[in-house]
Amino acid sequence: MSAVDFKLESLAVLVILLPGFLAARIHQRLIFDRDRSELDKIVQALLYSFVIYVVYTIFRQPLPFRFNPVVTEAGTHYEIQSDPLRLVALLGISVVLAVLLAYIAENDFAGRLFRKLGVSERTWRDSIWSDVFHDYGEAVRVELADGRSVMGWLRLYSDSAQESSLFLERAAWVDENDQLQHIKGPGIFLTKESGILAVSFLYWRGPTVSPK
């Protein structure tokens, strides 16, 4: 095998695997995923590639590219022929599959099914931090390490408990008499350095209403 043929075959393998790597990348950007090793990421991309081609072949469509042997006096080498429309279809499957699986994982649909069947007690999210804020958003009361408390509407939160940051809209400090001191502006951003000790989820309509 000549160096040219080897490079061409390597390129062909890369082209075949690209849909899986694209889908894996989209999936990683859509949802929080714990830090993975490079090997884990490669395995995930390979699995995506397998599923993508299974879905593609269900429609009995030929592959969007072919490797045609060309025989010359110097030997046999291969040329790549591609079909742009089928490449677009393959791209579409990759994107849709990544978005669909990210949606399933983010909303814990598969986890709920398996828990209902008694197969597992785990969720498909990364941590209980993520589970709680996905399932119980809205009004919260946050107790801080310095003894202060603040109430507001949960708007944003960090992906992992290690970061432990929250952004509250319509926020108000709670004094020692449980009276609310409205924070002027859009809200308050509580970082890890704030020392979040506990988060209570409340029935509350805004800073002008006493906490229940």
Q: What is the pTM assigned to this prediction?
A: 0.65
Q: How confident is the model at residue 95 (pLDDT cuts 50, 70, 90)?
A: very high
Q: Tell me, which fold does domain 128-201 have in CATH? A: SH3 type barrels. (2.30.30)
Q: Backbone phi, then psi, for 72, in 5-degree steps?
A: -130, 180
The helix-helix angle for 84-106 and 3-30 (nearest 10°) equals 40
pLDDT at position 170 over 50: yes
Cβ-defined contacts of 176-180 (< 8 Å, 24+): 178/210, 178/211, 179/210, 180/151, 180/207, 180/208, 180/210, 180/211
State the DSSP code for 208: T
What pLDDT is attached to residue 211?
A: 41
* Dihedral sign from CA coordinates of 41, 45, 50, 55: positive
Rounded Cα distance between 134 and 139, Å, is: 13
Q: For residues 32 and 69, is the Cβ–Cβ distance under 8 A?
A: no
State the DSSP code for 184: S
Averaged over 15-42, what is the pLDDT?
81
pLDDT in tens, 43-71: 888 899 999 988 888 876 677 777 666 67
Say which residue, 167 or 84, is predicted with more confidence: 167
pLDDT at position 147 over 60: yes
Give the domain ranges of the chain.
3-114, 128-201
Rounded Cα distance between 128 and 158, Å, is: 12
What does the block give as tokens for 202? 């409340």
pLDDT at position 210 over 50: no
pLDDT at position 204 over 80: no
pLDDT in tens, 98-135: 999 888 888 888 888 888 888 888 777 777 888 888 88
